[in-house]
Structure 1
Amino acid sequence: MAASESDKDFVVFDRVQKSYDGEQLVVKDLNLNIGKGEFLTMLGPSGSGKTTCLMMLAGFETATHGDILLGGKPINNIPPHKRGIGMVFQNYALFPHMTVGENLSFPLEVRNMSKSVREQKVKDALDMVQMGDFAGRRPAQLSGGQQQRIALARALVFEPQLVLMDEPLGALDKQLREHMQYEIKHLHERLGVTVVYVTHDQSEALTMSDRVAVFEDGRIQQLSSPDDLYERPENAFVAQFIGENNKLFGKVEAITKGVATVKLPMGGVVKAKAVNCEHGQDTTLSIRPERVKLGASKSSNATDAKVLELIYLGDHIRCRMNVHGNEDFVVKVPNAAGHKHLTVGETTTVSWLAEDCRALDA
């Protein structure tokens, strides 16, 4: 029993705060437990505090208040090189004067491993990232994607229990980036290592993580699995930051059995799941574009919609409409047989179920 408890709390941030100037807090009272073997992503816009948290865990920044624990032991006063943590950065941070093999051997030499052990570990790590033939090359002779693979191998070569990654795919092009996302995910599954990953790219966070902590203004706004984050955002910031989202603003007229009746400024009324709202208060309604249907259906919020713009995207048509006065209301219409073809300027009907619409904070 004790082992499984400690596994759940492999990395712990306990009431951690960080200030650079003694006045303004960049991280505010952070409490976070990360399980052993978990892939946790810290996601948020620039300046939200996510990278600062990673740097405190790595030991490059010190917490102003609170404790950080690794495997049950406080690490606040342990220098970075003694924490036994693997690191991968966006700029690779490879030594340019060393070969790929020497770059990987370096963290093993620091740990006083014998030459034969080092050679075997370097070979294994290079094979793991499919770079076995590149040991004799210099970083300058490699492409960006290859350099990132080497940086990944170097972070894993000494078999750390924890690997930290700070925007590691930020410098890669879209296609390579997506490919590397799956590769890192599969490596994580195979090795069972704990990964804390920082990004501002929401699709990256949804693709790779077991859980995602969404940061804004130095606090975690929501900590959930990727599907929970997308399907069940707890506040308007998370709904807006994760995926595409249609917003309508109104006032809560009533809440009955968890369903809010919301009156809109132009007179329309919408039924929505009451998540983070109170009777008589203003609210933000959140509806995902793929949950909106063309045409009216029973037990749903049907309303007139004027087609303003159609963008062809292959598998679907992105249709921008005026719905209840919001001219940026997006509906994704599948590009499939049997689907109605719309024209710009026409008025049609759209609808969505009350449970697919969330009434959140104003």
Structure 2
Amino acid sequence: MADTADATPFVVFDRVQKSYDGETLVVKDLNLAIGKGEFLTMLGPSGSGKTTCLMMLAGFETATHGDIRLAGRPINQVPPHKRGIGMVFQNYALFPHMTVNENLAFPLQVRRMSRAETEAKVARALDMVQMRDFGGRRPAQLSGGQQQRIALARALVFEPDLVLMDEPLGALDKQLREHMQYEIKHIHQSLGVTVVYVTHDQSEALTMSDRIAVFNEGVIQQLAAPATLYEKPENSFVAQFIGENNKLHGIVRAAENGAVRVEIDGGGEGLALPVKASRPGERTMLSIRPERVTVGEGGLTGKVLELIYHGDHIRCRMNVLGHEDFIVKVPNTPAHAQLRVGEATAIGWRVEDCRALDPI
């Protein structure tokens, strides 16, 4: 995808709020700009406001306050069927009494396309999801994965500029879900269509997205590319929600050379980059990814509690300063074969791999 930073936004949420009862805001003062051709994922736990945002964009919910714009025009008062948006749901929402061909033809017939054009577009959409031979079947004759492919084809058949997907892979088994992630990403890249995708699955979001908006309690906690979210979380919620993360609480004792020295609860010290804590005396939570912890050197000691073989790496659970869920991912090499359950070893990390965040 081309860089959208300087492009005119295609989708804009401008100070959008949503309340169902007139008191509690499920979406709070949302400002979000999505570039044309971008794959943006709204990620967050249940009740975080992500699906509500998608439904407001689709037109199935109305914003309590603020404006939503599509291609520069306000759409708050535009009914869903006139927004020209493709939708893919978790439950597929296919018409059970229609064949696959009839399901795909329906949105084209609503738009009064000719029969010849309809047949051509249906065939092309089925080719796109590798389902050309299934046009005569009904949904009940298809597997879950096949139904999801048809639902995707139906959302794309009328060539919308924007496609919204609400947990579309949630009902599929792990292997098929991972396969469909790549399928959807490849289709997005080949068509250049703008996709807004909702999920609570952080690995799915990391795999598919150009950018991810991490929601919690109706507020975007961080909006960034997948690698930035993982490597540089801006607060403790994002660090805990995106990927696996070790946390050690403590107090900032000094700031030196662009880092902070933290006295960790239970004894010991660690250096980290100051993100949400930088002044001496401040409470903080150190955030360090399991694969960034070094074994055999460093200023802390970890007692090995459990070793789990994962093929390319060993997952080592340690007791570090009383924390019994400190995880280290050790590459599966002969150099690390000396780890033994019950034994202690030195551990540490590079300053740039540890972040001093807000204490939660």
Band of TM-score, shorter chain: over 0.9
Report how many residues are paired. 355
Amino acid of the structure 2 residue aligned with 1:291: R
The corresponding residue for 1:287 is 288
1:260 is aligned to 2:257: no
Amino acid of the structure 1 residue aligned with 2:28: K
2:317–2:327 contact (8 Å) kept in structure 1: yes
The corresponding residue for 2:81 is 81
Measured against aligned partners, the alpha-carbon deviations of 1:279-332 in whole angstroms (never above 9, x if no partner) come to 121000000000011111xxxx42111111111122211110011221110001
**Alpha-carbon separation, structure 2, partners of 1:7 and 1:142:** 41
CA positional deviation for 1:273: 0.6
1:278 is aligned to 2:275: no
The corresponding residue for 1:233 is 233
CA positional deviation for 1:267: 2.5
Structure 2's unaligned 5+ residue stretches are: none
**Change over 3 Å in CA distance of 1:99–1:6 after alignment to 2:** farther
**Alpha-carbon separation, structure 2, partners of 1:7 and 1:141:** 44
CA positional deviation for 1:258: 2.4
**Aligned 1:1-362 pairs, distance under 5 A:** 7-279=7-279, 280-296=281-297, 301-362=298-359
CA positional deviation for 1:241: 0.3
**TM-score, normalized by length of structure 1?**
0.96
Amino acid of the structure 2 residue aligned with 1:202: Q
1:6–1:71 contact (8 Å) kept in structure 2: no
**Change over 3 Å in CA distance of 1:6–1:98 after alignment to 2:** farther
**Alpha-carbon separation, structure 2, partners of 1:241 and 1:112:** 46
Identity %: 75
Q: CA RMSD in A?
A: 1.2
1:6–1:72 contact (8 Å) kept in structure 2: no
CA positional deviation for 1:60: 0.1
Measured against aligned partners, the alpha-carbon deviations of 1:121-145 in whole angstroms (never above 9, x if no partner) come to 0000001100001110000000000
Amino acid of the structure 1 residue aligned with 2:278: E
SS of residue in 1 equivalent to 2:336: coil
**Alpha-carbon separation, structure 1, partners of 2:336 and 2:303:** 17
**Alpha-carbon separation, structure 2, partners of 1:32 and 1:348:** 46
**Alpha-carbon separation, structure 2, partners of 1:181 and 1:117:** 29
Q: Which runs of 4+ in 1 moved over 6 A?
A: none
Measured against aligned partners, the alpha-carbon deviations of 1:14-41 in whole angstroms (never above 9, x if no partner) come to 0000000000000000000000000000
Measured against aligned partners, the alpha-carbon deviations of 1:154-194 in whole angstroms (never above 9, x if no partner) come to 00000000000000000000000000000000000000000
SS of residue in 1 equivalent to 2:334: coil
SS of residue in 1 equivalent to 2:186: helix
Structure 1's unaligned 5+ residue stretches are: none
**Alpha-carbon separation, structure 2, partners of 1:34 and 1:43:** 15
**Alpha-carbon separation, structure 2, partners of 1:139 and 1:341:** 55
CA positional deviation for 1:278: 3.4
2:268–2:299 contact (8 Å) kept in structure 1: no
1:199–1:205 contact (8 Å) kept in structure 2: yes
Amino acid of the structure 2 residue aligned with 1:240: Q
**TM-score, normalized by length of structure 2?**
0.97
Deviates more, 1:5-14 or 1:124-133: 5-14
**Alpha-carbon separation, structure 2, partners of 1:258 and 1:21:** 47
SS of residue in 2 equivalent to 1:10: strand
**Alpha-carbon separation, structure 1, partners of 2:248 and 2:165:** 37
1:304–1:350 contact (8 Å) kept in structure 2: yes
